[in-house]
């Protein structure tokens, strides 16, 4: 017998849709000079955030975002049932160390850049399943920590390829509650890990587009919905080339998404003037754009129904070094005003 709230192969429909009752988005200087500057709660111009290493800076960003979301919701850490968080660094250290400071029962997540959407999906399941009343979700990335983790030391000044994306320095956090006012999470479609053989770590958008397409197509099939049922189909960090590729892929599956599709990696930077090549990326990209711009538009009812698909490239520097291709995943969540 299929599970009560499961719809189709990969989707769950929440009986009592959990509410996003507060959000916080904190961004770095470059993001603060971009087109979404006024949607962030705070812009921290110092790339070190007053700390003495990039890793400490990132964890400061995440901790501040989590604390800000709590404050906005008028909650203390002890009022929250679970903290769900993750980031891009080895052993998700930003999330682990931020969780150490907050002392909320903690479930660490790793979905690479899709983590904020993975958190939204799992958090909503915890609440609608009756296991929690309030869940805090957060995710972060930092340009300098990601370069160090996945690419080259920034001091080396290695040339970035035209398809490379710029890791967003920023953190997003949100509070999910069983009751209250705010945008609601009505469905979640958990992605399968997809790998069509792309191996270039400087072209993540192309690697992740098939995962986003796979999840979107299953979402439409499971829910019997169409593109026109959504005001916006938002992907996490496909960037310019990944966005084009996703739209082509979806057309081949019979869904013309081009008019209603946008990508956080394209929204967050001014590609012409900010020298970010193919756009933004990193956990902080979908986290800050979703917790900032998208939630604001939903609250203002300028958007009524959004399908957000967080996309993650599940590679490690070790697998890249060993010549492996890049497994990717897309997690989708339906947000309604």
Partner 1 sequence: MIFLKAFVVGGLICVAVQILMDRTNFKVTPGHVLVGLVTAGVVLSAVGAYEPFVKFAGAGATVPLSGFGHILAQGAIKGVQSGGLLGAFNGAVAAAAGGITAAVVFGYFAALLFKPKG
Query: Which residues form the interface with partner 1 (CB under 8 A)?
Result: 53-54, 144, 147-148, 153-156, 158-159, 161-162, 202
Q: Whose Cβ is closer to partner 1: residue 121's or residue 278's?
A: 278
Q: How far is the CB of 320 from partner 1 (least distance, A)?
A: 12
172 sits in which H/E element: strand 170-177
Q: How far is the CB of 277 from partner 1 (least distance, A)?
A: 11
Q: Whose Cβ is closer to partner 1: residue 158's or residue 193's?
A: 158
Give just the sign of the alpha carbon dihedral 38, 20, 116, 195: negative
Q: Whose Cβ is closer to partner 1: residue 20's or residue 245's?
A: 245
Q: How far is the CB of 101 from partner 1 (least distance, A)?
A: 22
Q: How far is the CB of 67 from partner 1 (least distance, A)?
A: 25
Q: How far is the CB of 138 from partner 1 (least distance, A)?
A: 24
Q: How many CB atoms are closer than 10 A to CB 50?
A: 9
**What DSSP string describes 53-88?**
SHHHHHHHHHHHHHHHHHHHHT--GGG-SEEEEEES
Name the packing angle between helices 54-73 and 143-150 (round to 10°): 130
CB 170 within 8 A of CB 288: yes
Q: Whose Cβ is closer to partner 1: residue 53's or residue 181's?
A: 53
Q: Whose Cβ is closer to partner 1: residue 87's or residue 128's?
A: 87
Q: How far is the CB of 48 from partner 1 (least distance, A)?
A: 9
Per residue, what are the HEC states of 235-293? Answer: ECCCHHHHHHHHHHHHHHCCCCCCCCEEEHHHHCCCCCCCCCCCCEECCHHHHHHHHHH
Q: Whose Cβ is closer to partner 1: residue 47's or residue 180's?
A: 47
């Amino acid at each position: 017998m299929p599970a009560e709230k499961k719809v189709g192969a990969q989707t769950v429909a929440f009986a009592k849709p959990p509410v996003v009752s507060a959000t916080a988005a904190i961004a770095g200087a470059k993001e603060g000079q971009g087109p979404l500057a006024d949607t962030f709660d705070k812009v921290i111009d110092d790339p070190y955030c007053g700390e003495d290493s990039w890793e400490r800076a990132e964890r400061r960003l995440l901790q501040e975002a989590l604390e800000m979301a709590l404050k906005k919701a008028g909650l203390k850490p002890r009022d929250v049932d679970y903290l769900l968080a993750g980031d891009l660094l080895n052993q998700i250290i930003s999330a682990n160390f931020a969780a150490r400071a907050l002392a909320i029962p903690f479930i660490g997540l790793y979905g690479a850049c899709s983590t904020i959407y993975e958190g939204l999906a799992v958090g909503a399941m915890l609440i609608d399943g009756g296991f929690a009343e309030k869940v805090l979700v957060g995710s972060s990335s930092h340009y300098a920590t990601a370069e160090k983790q996945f690419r080259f030391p920034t001091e080396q000044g290695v040339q970035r390829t035209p398809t490379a994306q710029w890791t967003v320095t920023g953190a997003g956090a949100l509070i999910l509650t069983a009751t209250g006012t705010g945008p609601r999470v009505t469905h979640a479609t958990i992605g399968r890990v997809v790998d069509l053989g792309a191996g270039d770590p400087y072209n993540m958008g192309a690697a992740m587009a098939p995962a986003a397409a796979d999840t979107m197509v299953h979402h439409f099939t499971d829910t019997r919905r169409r593109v026109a049922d959504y005001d916006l189909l938002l992907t996490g960090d496909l960037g310019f080339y990944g966005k084009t590729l996703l739209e082509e892929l979806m057309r081949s599956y019979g869904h013309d998404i081009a008019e209603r599709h946008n990508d956080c990696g394209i929204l967050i930077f001014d590609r012409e003037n900010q020298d970010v090549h193919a756009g933004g990326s990193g956990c902080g990209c979908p986290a800050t754009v979703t917790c900032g711009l998208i939630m604001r538009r939903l609250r203002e009812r300028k958007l009524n129904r959004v399908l957000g698909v967080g996309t993650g490239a599940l590679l490690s520097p070790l697998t890249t070094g060993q010549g492996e291709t890049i497994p990717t995943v897309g997690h989708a969540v339906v947000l309604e005003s």
